[in-house]
Structure 1
Amino acid sequence: MDCWKGAIGHSWIYPTLIICANGFFSTMRPSESFLTPYLTGPDKNLTTEEVTNQIFPVWTYSYLALLFPVFLITDYMRYKPILLLQGISFIVTYLLLLFAHGVLAMQLVEFFYGLATATEVAYYAYIYSVVSTDHYQRVTSYCRSITLVAATVAAVLGQLLVSLADVSYFHLNVITLTSVSLAFVCSFALPMPQKSMFFHRKDVSEPLPAPEKAVPPLGSSRPSSYQEDKGSVSADRASTLEQQADNAKPCNQVLRVLVQLSKDLRDCYSSRKLLYWSLWWALATAGFNQVLNYIQVLWDFRAPSHSSAVYNGAVEAIATFLGSATSMAVGYIQVNWDLPGELALGIFSAMDAGSLFLMHFTDNIWACYAGYLVFKACYMLLITIATFQIAVNLSMERYALMFGFNNFIALLIQTILTVVVVDSKGLGLDISTQFFIYGSYFTFIAGIFLIRSIYTITSTKCRNTNGTGESTDQLQWRQSMMASDSAGGCTS
């Protein structure tokens, strides 16, 4: 029996099943599509202005404050404790949402939700520390797919319960609390990793592998310099030196890791192609998260939930399905995105801007729903392309580092948008005007990449033109004709 348990514990199947179960239950939150109607309804009796300008901004601020320290702590503590922290954060969030009242209590809800969001990095990083590199591609697809499935199931379930069974928003939150509690229980069953990407490596003083040279994360053991020092001392002093080294190790290790991370970021962003894709990633993700955070407020403004049927769950389910379909389609499109990629970023960002302007200018809730579907599908298409372009030549460590830093920059931009546009201490704009600002923001993004793509295409054509003004294709055609004429003269 012990041997059987050991084999299961070291198999890639067992941790994959458990982490996927954790991801499913933590994402299966049917009440999420109806958060704004719940807060502004009879359960909490909050005004739209309080929800928009005082409560929702707290999530952005707490997420920004917690993201970087949680990122380092997650790697240092090897993921599992952070997954447990995520479960506790979700449970506290929904307990407060169910039983607490008032603006301050709901701001506390947003803080704990920000903590839960910041700890999501542990979910995506955990699996790489317990399976071999041979299974990376498969387990990545499983972990990401299960969250899309869970989000779709949650949205559909929530809509069916509200529309057909007349279930209250309060009881939807009870179902969500049950689901995240099951995710917390699943976290206990996860095996504890023995390595991590940055702190618990074979030698943290070694630089991470350069781009174009992807290698698997290294195992956990003591630094080689320590092994040499240990061999040079006598046996009676070995334990004392080891204890001193262990006491100094955490501080020195953190410093070495931070220095190494800064060097790796500099190397990653020295690639102009990666820099432009990362720029779009940060700008667009900031705008996308801002729209997602306030779209329910706009829907409630166009069609108040107390007097209209609410279809938030159905719209979110369709949007998730379209997003996953467009993401999957990218994998079957055989295109070299080096040249058309930036043009695609400009065109689809312009479509996002048009969708947001539509949501601003129309009073029709169905037009708002349609604009949101287009907006999310376009973003999911582009973020998949950007993810592939950034990750294709990076090692796993730099993959995680660069994506994490891009998201940090996106969150920083989103915080600036929140402070200036949304927060009551800033402009405190109404929800319709906010979406005009977001449409203008995506217009700015589209302009950057359309201009950049036109410049790139023009430069490429100029480089392919010879000094006489002939293009490469024209020159090759003329040379082939001259060769055929010469061959014909010889035979005659």
Structure 2
Amino acid sequence: TCWCSSAFGCPKPRLLGWVYPTLLLCVYGFFSCMRPSEPFLAPYLTGPEHNLTIEQVCLSSPTYSYLAILLPVFLLTDYLRYKPVIIIQGLSYIITWVLLLFARGVPAMQGTEFAYGMVTATEIAYYSYIYSVVDTEHYQKVTSYCRSITLVGYTIAATLGQILVSLANVSYFYLNVITLVSVSVAFLSSLFLPMPNKSMFFHKKVVGGVAQASSTDPISSNQEEIQPEVTNKAELDNKDHRNILKVLWLLCKDLTVCYSSKKLIYWSLWWALATAGYYQVINYVQVLWEHVAPAQNSDIYNGGVEADNHFLGALVSFLVGYVKINWDLTGELALGIFSAVDAGSLFLMNYTSNIWVCYAGYLIFKSSYMLLITIATFQIAINLSMERYALIFGVNTFVALILQTILTVIVVDQKGLGLDIVTQFTIYGSYFAVIAGIFFVRSLYILISLRCKAPAKTADSESSIQTKL
């Protein structure tokens, strides 16, 4: 086994099996998320280094760039077999922070936001890569490692940033320097990731010269249409190129099968609606904090708040695994209740002049969302294969992004209403109130339907007993 050869696209090392790529991916995940400057971007951009106004900080280009990039990236990620897309993400991180450090002016910041849009759009490669280089029996373990290490990275970064700002009086500029070093380490580690021999959809595992579908392949029954028996891997790759459209058509058919379930439709609807609002809130919450307590006039604790948020999110997500509830019966009710909590916390943040109350509202909002997205993820994935889950995840995210773009155009963009930050958060709170109303109505419909069915079943049972007698 050659350690350095993996940097040039060789197959995964045999010596360490699943441990080697998992370790490298965890290194990448930790350093790419170890960004101590991120909780302080708004005060950095409005400070003396950039001297932008709050209105200029509210740029809408990241949402637009993310929308433009997401669909082609979603398709290319699988076709290119993940590693090249992870490398592109690493480069995008570096470009983003180089521009933040050395570029000046609104056009330069719009370029920064476009680069960060690329970072966000390519995130799916990180969570998909590992399934192409490890066996099915390790899926749960490596998923836990990769998701946990990103949370650790976020938490350490936010804590470190707050300590450096509050205790060492380090400037925001040098926090961004630390971030640039961290994401550069992440980029270097991505070069050494093993190149997968297969992917979920476009490249099937080759065994004995024949393309083999995995046991959980949602389109395995149609595999003969896509890749008949071939004599060598080169011919198999050529066959893949000629049949891309056929593969995409089969993926669309599979998507239709997935969304034939009403349960999956409703959970996906909440996912798309809530995720759109969630990303809109986290994109502009620092601007609200800057409005409530300007950094030039008071001490800020954005880093500490984000660290607490990640810890609470992890705790809530962990505890969900031990809650024994019939989600088929009470799932929509839970979505309605906690969406109402989200709406209330946003109104609390918006109408207070106390930054600590604003911070508390944000903690409630984010913890509530993390709780529900964990439940929604489990409910959607429980009856789906890994390939179908990746497909549904991508589609739900794409729909959420379309909704977020609509919100951005109407609420933020100067070509739309161009509202101030206080009015924006009033609309975001109302948006989550509408989501809560939708699922309250849905839960009432389910409960009333079950109540009406119960007497009918009792009557049928009594009739059956009388007949037998």
Fold match, TM over 0.5? yes
User: Aligned to 2:200, which of 197, 200, 210?
Assistant: 197
TM-score, with normalisation over the residues of structure 1?
A: 0.87
Counterparts of 1:422-441 in structure 2, within 5 Å, are: 422-441=412-431
* Whole-angstrom CA distance in 1 between matches of 2:237 and 2:405: 39
* Superposition deviation, residue 467 in structure 1: 7.4
Identical pairs, percent: 62
Counterparts of 1:423-462 in structure 2, within 5 Å, are: 423-462=413-452
> Contact conserved, 1:360 with 1:436, CA < 8 A, in 2?
yes
Aligned to 2:180: 177
Closer, same or farther in 2 for the Cα pair 1:255/1:163, shift >3 Å?
same
User: Aligned to 1:156, which of 144, 156, 159?
Assistant: 159
1:133 aligns with 2:117: no
Closer, same or farther in 2 for the Cα pair 1:93/1:391, shift >3 Å?
same
* Superposition deviation, residue 334 in structure 1: 1.6
* Whole-angstrom CA distance in 1 between matches of 2:33 and 2:342: 26
> Contact conserved, 1:196 with 1:217, CA < 8 A, in 2?
no
Structure 1 counterpart SS, 2:328: coil
1:15 aligns with 2:16: no
* Superposition deviation, residue 131 in structure 1: 0.3
Aligned to 2:170: 167
Alignment length (residue pairs): 453
Closer, same or farther in 2 for the Cα pair 1:372/1:229, shift >3 Å?
closer
* Whole-angstrom CA distance in 1 between matches of 2:390 and 2:249: 16
1:373 aligns with 2:374: no
> Contact conserved, 1:208 with 1:264, CA < 8 A, in 2?
no
Aligned to 1:86: 89
Structure 1 residue runs of 5 or longer lacking an equivalent are 231-237, 480-485, 487-492
> Contact conserved, 1:159 with 1:311, CA < 8 A, in 2?
yes
* Superposition deviation, residue 75 in structure 1: 0.6
* Whole-angstrom CA distance in 1 between matches of 2:290 and 2:414: 19
Counterparts of 1:241-320 in structure 2, within 5 Å, are: 249-250=240-241, 252-320=242-310
CA RMSD of the aligned region, Å? 2.8
Structure 1 counterpart SS, 2:50: coil
Structure 2 residue runs of 5 or longer lacking an equivalent are 6-11
Matched to 1:286, the amino acid is A
> Contact conserved, 1:8 with 1:14, CA < 8 A, in 2?
no
Closer, same or farther in 2 for the Cα pair 1:298/1:460, shift >3 Å?
same
* Whole-angstrom CA distance in 1 between matches of 2:398 and 2:226: 34
* Whole-angstrom CA distance in 2 between matches of 1:207 and 1:424: 52
1:25 aligns with 2:28: no
Aligned to 1:39: 45
> Contact conserved, 2:219 with 2:250, CA < 8 A, in 1?
no
* Whole-angstrom CA distance in 1 between matches of 2:237 and 2:146: 36
* Superposition deviation, residue 364 in structure 1: 1.2
Closer, same or farther in 2 for the Cα pair 1:394/1:467, shift >3 Å?
closer
> Contact conserved, 1:24 with 1:146, CA < 8 A, in 2?
yes
> Contact conserved, 2:93 with 2:119, CA < 8 A, in 1?
yes
Aligned to 1:482: none
Matched to 1:27, the amino acid is C
User: Aligned to 1:101, which of 82, 87, 104?
Assistant: 104
Closer, same or farther in 2 for the Cα pair 1:389/1:437, shift >3 Å?
same
Aligned to 1:363: 353
Closer, same or farther in 2 for the Cα pair 1:88/1:267, shift >3 Å?
same
> Contact conserved, 1:202 with 1:223, CA < 8 A, in 2?
no
Closer, same or farther in 2 for the Cα pair 1:134/1:172, shift >3 Å?
same
TM-score, with normalisation over the residues of structure 2?
A: 0.91
* Whole-angstrom CA distance in 1 between matches of 2:428 and 2:153: 28
Matched to 2:67, the amino acid is L
* Whole-angstrom CA distance in 2 between matches of 1:126 and 1:9: 19
Aligned to 2:324: 334
Question: For the pair shown, which has the larger CA radius of gyration, 1 or 2?
Answer: 1
User: Aligned to 1:69, which of 67, 72, 78?
Assistant: 72
